[in-house]
Structure 1
Amino acid sequence: MAQASDEILARLMGLHPKIIDLTLDRLEQLLAALDHPETRIPPAIHLAGTNGKGSTQAMIRAGLEAMGKSVHAYTSPHLARFHERIRLAGALISEPALSALLDECEAANGGANITFFEITTAAAFLAFSRTSADYTLLEVGLGGRLDATNVIDKPALSVLTPISIDHTQFLGETLPEIAGEKAGIIKRGVPVIVGPQEDAALEVIEARAARLGAPVFAFGQQWNVFEERGRLIYQDENGLLDLPLPNLPGPHQIMNAGAAIAALRTLGADEAACEAAVTRAQWPARMQRLRNGPLVDLAGTAELWLDGGHNPAGGDAVAATLARMPARPTHLICGMLNTKDVTGYMRPLVDKAASLYAVEIPGEPNTLPASETEAAARKAGFGTTACAADVATAIAAITAQDPAARILICGSLYLAGQVLKENG
């Protein structure tokens, strides 16, 4: 009987002493042993950026599928199950297929030094090369230039979502350095869709694109998007689209929708496909309202929301979303990783929430202790803070004080994944 994918994944975790070590050499050796599946995948749309990659990818997928196209998708990290990372022609990879692919990659690697992300990316390429589809959506794991997804020679399209300061220990301390790493996905002659960027990042992107003769379609130059009278207005040289607002909540999704539509129009999509992109996209843990499950039952008449944003730009996006929601006392349950700018994430949220309960992320070695998350909240300016043993305890404490509250569980995708598991 084949081993369960969870057992193989646990073993693969031990093949490299460091979780992250950016280089393409190890992966290129493994792909050669597997006869280069990355050269046989359907045309790729490659996405990098600090925030909005997942939402933008989900919208592009919804638009392509509305055109009748079949689409592979690769995303990370997963929330509840690893299978979420690999979508084959629209459907999540099955357990038998995943365990067989992981087995094959483990055997081909022969015990050599390789990171978890590299070997699982090889498994994704293998899956994509063996199942026919019209497009492959590839989301960068970290950075771009040395990311495992960047072994693709000639994608159909590159997409750069907003770039901000994050992962400084791997990508550099300054915005131009980080933008240089992300812009590493730009390939010679391949069109690049560029979402809203600070000038320092845009200069780096445009310089690399010019060097490689890659046509640039940038927000504010070749395309524009804005909200007007409760509608999404998109404009480029091919004309204007008047569309419904995105079904994914939050004003930042207007910009993500713009980048998705720009990508779709570059691929020849019509207005119906662009409308489907904004109305049919599904992307969990991005200001997601939880409507049933044990944690929702525990919350009673309180609203329960979930968001996995985790850097200062993510904090800004959550704050902007809360500002536009109907007035209701809002309480945060926050768990963070120790690698993040915690105070920077929290600062925009201070005047949007009545209290913050700090929790640890269960089963996550890099969780920030709840006491340190609480201290960061106080430093950011929160007046009412507390530590809780877990999310359920925090929900019970909030609803005991404020039964009609809005509760937002936030701060990390890893926490969001645990909540989705716990809530069934």
Structure 2
Amino acid sequence: MIPAHPALADAPLYFDYNATTPVDPRVAEAMDPYLSAWFGNPSSGHAYGAEPQRALARARTQVAALIGAEAEEIVFTGSGSEADNLAIRGAVLAAKTDHAHVITQVTEHPAVLETCHALERLHGTEVTYLPVDGDGLVDPAALTAALTEHTVLVSVMAANNETGALQPIAELARITHAHGALLHCDAAQATGIIPLDIRDLGVDLLTIVGHKMYAPKGIAALYVRQRVTLEPLVYGGGQEGGLRAGTENVALAVALGAAAQLAVEELANGGHHRIGNLRDRLQSLLTGALSGRVLLNGPAEPRLPNTLNISIDGRHGHELLAAVPEIAASTGSACHSGDHTPSPVLRAMGLHDARSLAALRLSLGRWTTPDEVDRAADLLATAAGSA
């Protein structure tokens, strides 16, 4: 039984889970002792360090279990952006070549794209940016054509944060490995939302983000397959297998571990199917109420079960949300929520500017109920119908 969330009671309807998730009260409860009673440094050899050390190891095991990895393959970081930087920059610098080539795709998160831009600028790395089709998907044949003898790394996200489009990661990994390169996957938006297993995906590096799966902000992790070598981002005392120096934030690591364990349990109980049914209900209600005016942006499948990106003909997305303060949602990437220019993701998919500006991203989560879906659909349809 999922406990009620006090922050969501008597508040606007929350349909922005892709931006961030509320911290699960069970996660907060798990981390609390490590903010007070068990304050020791996990590297200390005395009694005060023993429990934090055990807690850190337990959290690493819990995160690993969520994706089918080994505990020693999990590196805790301070954010998903840091994990992406460690994976991409770390792989390129560890290759020790003046001719490194990286392949990514145009709708990646800025943490990936800007890292690639920095490698081009600072290290002369050649980067290929693959296009996407009208559903936002990479063509595996385009990846095959782009690979060269100098390709060190391919970085393609698991799921797009705006449309929920799921990339064919396993196929891309097979192609990448056949050419002797590594594959990194930013799975920030997918981990804990859908089942993911690194053995099925075949990835070498995978980014996990706490605040996307009911843990606090400021904690993330990078899965690093055994025998993959990375150059560290932060040098110092050798923590996190030598890849991320600095005394570990035990409380936040415990939080991520607890969130991972809850995600394992919820996925096993079909929680992603429940959310998918609610998402489909919301889409159906809006489509029925606004006949002919609702356009789905991105694929119907494969798509995250919690994500609905639509354009309602005749209304700008930000104007529509401003007219419905009872709903907290987004018009695109949360990183650009104050920018009312067309979404780069939707533009890359070939959508014209009017449709892109009309876009709404409605993302559901653990505390979304059928009643909330019905209320949100009614509010949005009423506001859109007044155009």
Normalised to the residue count of structure 2, the TM-score between the two structures is 0.31
Give the structure, 1 or 2, with the largest relative contact order (CA under 8 Å, sep 6 or more).
2
